[in-house]
Amino acid sequence: MYLFALSIDTGSDVHQIVKNLLYAKRMKAKARIILAEPRSQNSDIFTQSETLASFVIYTLLPPVFICLNANFKEPLILTDQKATHSLPVCHAAYTFTLEQQLRQELFVTNDYNKLARPDPTTRITVQLNLLTLKELNIRDQYLSVIGYFVVKWDETSRLKWNTNPTYNSDIDFIFCTETEIWVPPVIIENSVDNIGIMSDTSIRIRVAKDGEVTWSPTSIFTTNCVTDVTYYPFDTQTCAIVLTSWGYTKQELQFRKDNVVPLGMNNYKENGEWEYVGYSVANSIVNREAVNFFQLTYSLTFKRRPMYHVFNSIIPMVIISILACFVFKLPADAGEKMGYALTILLTSAVYLTLVADNIPTTSINTPYLSVYLVSLLSIDVMSVILTVLILEIYHTDSGKQVPGCLKFIIGKFMGSLVCYGNSKCCCRKERNNKVEEVSDFSTIKSMPDSDKENEDDFPTWQDLARIMDIFFFRLYCICLVSFTCIFLVIMSTSVDLNV
């Protein structure tokens, strides 16, 4: 109820007016009178008491609606006819006794039944407020967030007192618990932690004087989340929190999102691994046992922060694979060639084991990162095999004739690609043959046919080994750069799609 501070004529008989109002209270049960001692017996100005605001009178009898409030330091007037003018409005004082009377009237006098829903079709408005993302577990396929729902519905038929002047301006709202009033049976349908009805008897439920009830259950909500790790670690995941009623059908209980703020993010704290991107809210109907129920789905989208995985997974493996290329730069007669190749392979295997702990264990989608890392490991394995073959060819007895197939494949084909020795080079232009004039033909007969001898001796086993070293070094560099570029192009496509 609001208090009106009014002016009065100096000749008015205050005590007579109070007497009339006491009679009015006897006639009207809703009238209420609170008295405080005046400054003097005959004065019409009243001072503030330590325990009460002042001399205050409430009544429903028109035209008498008056209040004398000591918060206004002016002569305060009472009249049994009508108010001459009103001063600024102030709120009445709240008292424990008054709330006790209100509770008694709402719950006992009106015989409130918490098992009965307010209306034949009760409509509840839901708002989700996120506080932080606790975990988005790709390995176990679940989302865990900390937050609370704001659930509102109307109890105007049973919990409303704004039309009652006794309590209207004194009490704007009261707090109750689930043990006192009806609350909708709501469950998280895709929960993996607790499938039971959301309930907490310690949470206070706010009941406003116009009958609006606000319930804010808070918890750690853990739900199932089917993830797509194809573009890991540049992936974006969308997980859902699904609310539905339990027991009440769609004709009895209906969900609807808060049209003003469906998802509150004012108090959200960022997660170190996942960046919040956006949300969507959808209403739907789910059928359980041939009965339809309302369902409200909050879809939350999070994007992974990839820098940790880039610096701890991708870059080290690329560096190790680059080292594998340089095994072909070591001379075959050096004793460290085979040891170097094995060391690189073991390093790759051990580090890949550590990286595998961070890669999601799912067979629904294969990450491109896994394919890329397996390709790098395959390069390292092949480098060891090729090193063994090169060493075997290099240390073959020089008295043993080189087979023709090796001469053609390695000597001519690979040799021409790397422009080794006397091999015809595919990238080098042929020299113009110059004919020299020779005056003495006897000299020509005596000249050794060195070109023919070199052609017969080429290639030796050592030449084949050197050609293979040069060829596979270049091939490995091309493969490593190609694999890395393809991987980066695919990942950039993922980033563009997410944007």
Cα–Cα distance between 80 and 476 in angstroms, integer?
Answer: 106
Do 141 and 283 fall into the same domain?
Answer: yes
Do 72 and 127 fall into the same domain?
Answer: no
The CATH number covering residue 123 comes to 2.70.170.10
Do 145 and 18 fall into the same domain?
Answer: no
Whole-number pLDDT of residue 459: 79
Question: Which of 278, 305, 332 is the C-terminal boundary of a domain?
Answer: 305
Residue 439 lies in a domain: no
Which residue from 371, 395, 394, 399 is spatially nearest to 463, judged by alpha carbons? 394
Question: Which of 58, 93, 128 is the C-terminal boundary of a domain?
Answer: 93
Residue 356 lies in a domain: yes
Do 77 and 109 fall into the same domain?
Answer: no
Residues 102-151: tens digit of each pLDDT: 999 999 988 899 999 999 999 999 999 999 999 999 888 899 999 999 99
Cα–Cα distance between 52 and 390 in angstroms, integer?
Answer: 104
pLDDT below 50 — which residues of the chain?
Answer: 1-15, 18-19, 21-92, 432-447, 450-453
Residue 212 lies in a domain: yes
Residue 435 lies in a domain: no
CA distances to 225, 228, 302, 341 from 270, rounded to whole Å, are 20, 22, 11, 45
Residue 361 lies in a domain: yes
Do 198 and 276 fall into the same domain?
Answer: yes
Do 76 and 141 fall into the same domain?
Answer: no
Backbone φ and ψ for 336, nearest 5 degrees, come out as -90, -5
Residue 66 lies in a domain: yes
Residues 414-472: tens digit of each pLDDT: 888 888 766 566 555 555 444 444 444 444 444 455 444 455 566 788 888 888 899 99
Residue 485 lies in a domain: yes
Do 249 and 337 fall into the same domain?
Answer: no
Question: Which of 266, 283, 305 is the C-terminal boundary of a domain?
Answer: 305
Number of domains in the chain: 3
CA distances to 20, 86, 171, 342 from 70, rounded to whole Å, are 22, 14, 21, 95
Write out the two tokens for 188.
């998280």
Do 342 and 218 fall into the same domain?
Answer: no
Do 290 and 317 fall into the same domain?
Answer: no
Burial of 399 (0-12, 13-18, 19+ CB in 10 A): exposed
Do 34 and 86 fall into the same domain?
Answer: yes
Residue 132 lies in a domain: yes
Whole-number pLDDT of residue 282: 92
Whole-number pLDDT of residue 444: 43
Do 297 and 328 fall into the same domain?
Answer: no
Do 76 and 123 fall into the same domain?
Answer: no
- Domain residues for 201? 102-305
Output the CA torsion 6→10→15→17 (10° steps).
Answer: -50
Whole-number pLDDT of residue 290: 86
